[in-house]
Structure 1
Amino acid sequence: VQVLKVNHFNKNFTTLFLNQDLNDNKHNNIDGVPPVIGWERTSHGKLGPKIADLGALINPEKLAEQAVDLNLKLMKWRLVPDLDLDVIKNTKVLILGAGTLGSYVSRCLLAWGTRHVTFVDSGKVSFSNPVRQPLYNYDDCLSGGKPKAATAAENLRRIFPGVNAKGFQIDIPMVGHPIKDEKKEYEDFKKLAQLVDANDAIFLCLDSREARWLPTLLGNVKHKIVINSALGFESYLVMRHGCIDPANNLENQIEGRLGCYFCSDIVAPKDSLTDRSLDQMCTVTRPGLALLASSLATELFVSILQSPMKQYSNHIAHDKTNILGCLPHQLRGYLHNFETLKLSSKNFRCCTACSVPVIREFREHGWHFVKTALNDSTYLEDVTGLREFHKNAESAAVLLDEFDELACEDQGIE
């Protein structure tokens, strides 16, 4: 809204025109008022119109934006003077999975003032979703269901118009799932890689273990913040992935950094979806679990942004120097006894997602490496050295059995 202030000669009043054409002759012929004969001087001493933008005072979208920011600024002014709100606002977030976890994560991000959110999902809204996923309603389920990613972005903008929310319908290529349509899967891979490039942080809120493999790899290769969240029936995991530091030589980072979601595995991810029975196709959890995991994932993300070393920070279990306190590697919670554990683990040198051999192969061969891994998950065991690791473990087990037998013979035990 623009306001034009016009002073009338020898008259003790000012006329204000709202959203009027300055060249409209009607302004010069107001009943009972002498015509305008000139302009008031500006702050620079020149004659001209004075225009004021009142959008911040009467535009509801601007008012909403101010209210959101004010709530966060009160936190900064009263309690945490060193809190950097701008880094939270300007960080671009990619949420993989627009289901229960993804929906709640996006709502928490809005509350923290994040302005850039992108959803990726391949599904459609079903009738079971709205009661558990706050970004959808009953109307979104009709006519076969709307695409989840685009609908989540649209509804997020309805909650707060100031957010730049986008949604993309992409089938994330999954390790252990042989390629059926190479052209489509390559396009999905390329688009996912572009989205990872375009964003600063990635939230893994996906339904299956193997769907997290490629985003984990891409996040590490491109040095992104990666927050992983997973649910059981009454347990949850929230963790931040360790990250390859581009300032150091790759060969010097074989071990010693924080691990990723796959570092505790001694086998490559496999297809866990094809043979599921009907009752296993949906994630069955206690309803409140997703809210706990999502809120902790978001708070962990914000704590990372406030840390000087960001995603390269080590596990910090107790710290009074960090602005928002400790910065754990993993949070594992159990509703059965209402317990939350802060855990830490180093990376596994033979990890199928973040080990140096995997990162090196991806950098050299790109899609060809991914395609081979999708068609044959045992390929990853060869690349990482897991197969050799298994052989050495079997040999050690045989030697241990022989040692036990000799010890028993020496003691006269049959």
Structure 2
Amino acid sequence: MSESPKALQFAPFSSFLDGGFWHQLCHNKLNVYGLDDSPKPLHGTYFNGDAEGMPCRMSLEHSSFDMETKTPSQCFRAEGNLYNRNTIDDFKTIDKKELLDKEGAEVWKAITSGAAIQNPGLLSRLMVLTFADLKKYHFYYWFGFPCVCPAEDFTIAQTLSMTQAFCQQELDELLENYVTYQSGPECASGYFTLVKDKSGSSFFDSLANTQKHLDAGEKVVFTFADPCTMPENPGWPLRSFLALISYHWGKQLRGEAVVMCFRYRSKAGQHDAGHSLVLKVNLSSMDDKSTCPRCVGWEKNERGKLGPRHVNLSASMDPARLAESAVDLNLKLMRWRLLPELDLDTVAKTRCLLLGAGTLGCNVARNLLGWGVRTITLVDNGRVSYSNPVRQTLFVFDDCRSVPGGRPKAEAAAESLKKIFPGVNAEGVSLSIPMPGHTITESAIEQTRADVARLAELVESHDVIFLLLDTRESRWLPTVMAAAMGKTVICTALGFDTFLVMRHGNQSYEPVPSPGPTQKLGQMITGDQLGCYFCNDVVAPGDSTRDRTLDQQCTVSRPGMSFIASALGVELLVSILQHPDKGRAPADTGNEEASDHPCPLGLVPHQIRGFLSRFQQIMPASRAFDKCTACCQKVIEEYRSGGFNFLLRVFNEPHFLEDLTGLTQMHQETAEAEIWDFDDEESFSSMEAS
């Protein structure tokens, strides 16, 4: 028993955060908050059954951001706000006193309005000020547990243990009543009363009935779930509870209240509350409604001083998850400030098939990673040679020498992508693509059939096909397959100091006029009218490497060309994905205003032709050719109906495609027209001479 009244001291809360809290904060910052630094609701829980010696803890985890989450059994809830700052300077300079007073005013409002009597959980409030460095995974934070204080401290007149205040029989009854009461909804707040009626019976009841019991002359012991384990001091929740008691019932209680700090332990079916405390408290006046009393509640740091804490989770967080989050960081920063309508999910889910794992294929793959694409398949039949690593960014010297003849390019490139970013679903496929003009012998037919089937399977299972192959004829079969299956195609080709980047049209196979030349100013060609890589040809693709010297067989380009063309190819794809019409987006030619464009990234051209010698680019657009050897209606219908037998004729018969599409007839008509023009000119000259 205390000898004389002394100031009541409360054990402050200590914040306890698990790793899931920081993971969820990272997720919310990237995907929900962005640059929005307005207060965000969150909640924590505390427990009144800790073992002796444990601090008075407020726990937060990943579910703390979900206000619909149910409070765990035997735990009690505190709600409040998260204040996440965008810069470390803002975190340091924000007015901490103003912030605490703002949150404390909410507690005072709940007390004075009586809302805390009906919903006592409003007395337990928390706040957390944070700054998250998402590049280094350093977190700065400062917790506050706001409470209002009277002008003069509450004093304690008497402290009793539970065993001193109650006999064993009464204590057993209390425990039984507490377990029953705790199963009801009222106890979830952690504030209630122990009422002893005139018949001598005791029971727990909600605060909402306090006035009724006092008016009836019944004895009321104000009770709260106490998270403290100290032998003489109550926990922090009592502070605002006493303010509520003083404000509403201080005069009726004549300035003195009996408070029970209920501490409940249950282990192996044994229940114990003997370490609880019963306090006789001298109340202070709290009946001034004009101003909110002084507020306290900032948590002390590890050094025992008022100040923020810092945690470095760069070593403990899962590296794969760190990499995945970091990959998306730059993209989400774009969406925060510059392009809020940017659809990153569509880009990430797009499955890309890269035909060619050489100079273009490596650079396209790297750019796709930068845009967050998660599924990349590379196809190539070559091996890494000693000349490759300096130009082809996914290979290193060991890829040339570790295996005789070099490692397979597609497999080495896919493995390199996974080393760069473990979260990518990368696959390398070694495959030869059959080509027009390259005769298939009898012994090679079955292998060719298998290669065609495998290529068709790959095209079918991907959303976008990149044509990055060395020769013109190697692009023919993928173009036909993609057109037949309605896939988006991005074609990139290099010259010495020129390049072409284009998208193929999403054909509907309705008759279209014979092409005209390049798109004229002021005309718009819709996406289903655009030509493919072969639409400007008037001959079928053939063997382009026959009778050519080494420099003619290889793609000899200025070193920077592949980087420029690859980047433009990927950027063109992303622009297509962001356009409302996707692959059917009309072709822009550079005369449109990008600011008024339906695609948030700007224009969506058909072709980009670059001339590095002049550092110039143009964006022509051309219609699909009704006699195209790759995408016209006749070719697609023959491919769909004839399958491999049709392809075998294309491979082995040099003029089959030209005969099928009408190019042969067109050549004949053109030749005849030239002859007649010549005859007319001769006749005119003869007549003039005579």
Count the aligned residue pairs.
375
1:204 paired to 2:472: no
1:291 paired to 2:563: yes
1:230 paired to 2:476: no
Selected match of 1:133 from 392, 395, 406: 392
CA contact (8 A) 1:122 1:147 kept: yes
SS for the counterpart of 1:264 is coil
1:75 paired to 2:75: no
Residues 303-318 of structure 1: pairs in structure 2 closer than 5 A: 303-317=575-589, 318=592
Selected match of 1:190 from 444, 447, 453: 453
Which moves more between the two structures, 382-391 or 187-196?
A: 382-391
Partner of 1:63: 322
**1:52-75 deviation per Cα after TM superposition (whole angstroms, max 9, x unaligned):** xx9996011111111111210110
Q: How many angstroms apart in 1 are the aligned matches of 2:423 and 2:314? A: 14
**1:68-112 deviation per Cα after TM superposition (whole angstroms, max 9, x unaligned):** 112101101111111111110000000000000000000000000
Distance 1:58 1:270, change over 3 A: same
SS for the counterpart of 1:217 is helix
Q: How many angstroms apart in 2 are the aligned matches of 1:113 and 1:38? A: 51
Partner of 1:19: none
Q: How many angstroms apart in 2 are the aligned matches of 1:275 and 1:357? A: 32
Q: How many angstroms apart in 2 are the aligned matches of 1:9 and 1:413? A: 123
Q: How many angstroms apart in 1 are the aligned matches of 2:323 and 2:372? A: 12
SS for the counterpart of 1:333 is strand
Distance 1:340 1:38, change over 3 A: farther
CA contact (8 A) 1:105 1:295 kept: yes
Larger Rg: 2
Q: How many angstroms apart in 2 are the aligned matches of 1:152 and 1:356? A: 36
How far 1:275 sits from its partner (Å)?
Answer: 2.2
How far 1:396 sits from its partner (Å)?
Answer: 1.3
SS for the counterpart of 1:214 is helix
Which moves more between the two structures, 361-370 or 57-66?
A: 57-66
How far 1:406 sits from its partner (Å)?
Answer: 3.6
Q: How many angstroms apart in 2 are the aligned matches of 1:383 and 1:57? A: 65
1:350 paired to 2:623: no
CA contact (8 A) 2:536 2:625 kept: yes
Gaps of 5+ in 2: 1-17, 21-45, 60-264, 270-312, 515-524
Selected match of 2:664 from 375, 378, 387: 387
How far 1:314 sits from its partner (Å)?
Answer: 2.2
Distance 1:278 1:312, change over 3 A: same
Q: How many angstroms apart in 2 are the aligned matches of 1:344 and 1:244? A: 15
Q: How many angstroms apart in 2 are the aligned matches of 1:56 and 1:365? A: 59
SS for the counterpart of 2:634 is helix
Distance 1:168 1:38, change over 3 A: farther
Selected match of 1:144 from 401, 405, 408: 405
Residue type of the partner of 1:116?
T
Distance 1:155 1:347, change over 3 A: same
Q: How many angstroms apart in 2 are the aligned matches of 1:145 and 1:164? A: 24
CA contact (8 A) 1:237 1:332 kept: yes
**1:291-342 deviation per Cα after TM superposition (whole angstroms, max 9, x unaligned):** 0110111111111111111112221122432211111111111111111111
Q: How many angstroms apart in 2 are the aligned matches of 1:76 and 1:113? A: 13
Residues 11-160 of structure 1: pairs in structure 2 closer than 5 A: 11-13=53-55, 37=267, 58-142=317-401, 143-160=404-421
Q: How many angstroms apart in 2 are the aligned matches of 1:253 and 1:200? A: 26
SS for the counterpart of 2:267 is coil
Selected match of 2:639 from 339, 347, 362: 362
1:166 paired to 2:430: no
**1:262-317 deviation per Cα after TM superposition (whole angstroms, max 9, x unaligned):** 11111111111232223333211110011011011111111111111111222112
Q: How many angstroms apart in 2 are the aligned matches of 1:413 and 1:79? A: 75
Q: How many angstroms apart in 2 are the aligned matches of 1:369 and 1:36? A: 79
CA contact (8 A) 1:150 1:167 kept: yes
Q: How many angstroms apart in 2 are the aligned matches of 1:190 and 1:93? A: 18
SS for the counterpart of 1:190 is helix
CA contact (8 A) 1:116 1:163 kept: yes
Selected match of 2:541 from 245, 269, 281: 269
Partner of 1:175: 436
Residue type of the partner of 2:405?
G
CA contact (8 A) 1:220 1:243 kept: yes
Structure 1 runs of 4+ with >6 Å offset: 54-57
Partner of 1:50: none
Distance 1:173 1:254, change over 3 A: farther
Q: Percent identity?
A: 47
**1:207-250 deviation per Cα after TM superposition (whole angstroms, max 9, x unaligned):** 000000001111111111101011111111111111223xxxx3
Q: How many angstroms apart in 1 are the aligned matches of 2:431 and 2:350? A: 22
**1:16-37 deviation per Cα after TM superposition (whole angstroms, max 9, x unaligned):** 9xxxxxxxxxxxxxxxxxx993
Distance 1:8 1:89, change over 3 A: same
SS for the counterpart of 1:366 is helix
Provide TM-score, normalisation by structure 1.
0.85
CA contact (8 A) 2:512 2:626 kept: no
SS for the counterpart of 2:366 is helix
Distance 1:96 1:404, change over 3 A: same
CA contact (8 A) 1:9 1:36 kept: no
**1:377-400 deviation per Cα after TM superposition (whole angstroms, max 9, x unaligned):** 311111111111111111211222
Distance 1:70 1:36, change over 3 A: farther
SS for the counterpart of 1:343 is coil
Q: How many angstroms apart in 2 are the aligned matches of 1:358 and 1:298? A: 28
CA contact (8 A) 1:57 1:63 kept: no
CA contact (8 A) 1:8 1:36 kept: no
Q: How many angstroms apart in 1 are the aligned matches of 2:626 and 2:641? A: 19
Partner of 1:339: 616
Q: How many angstroms apart in 2 are the aligned matches of 1:73 and 1:351? A: 42
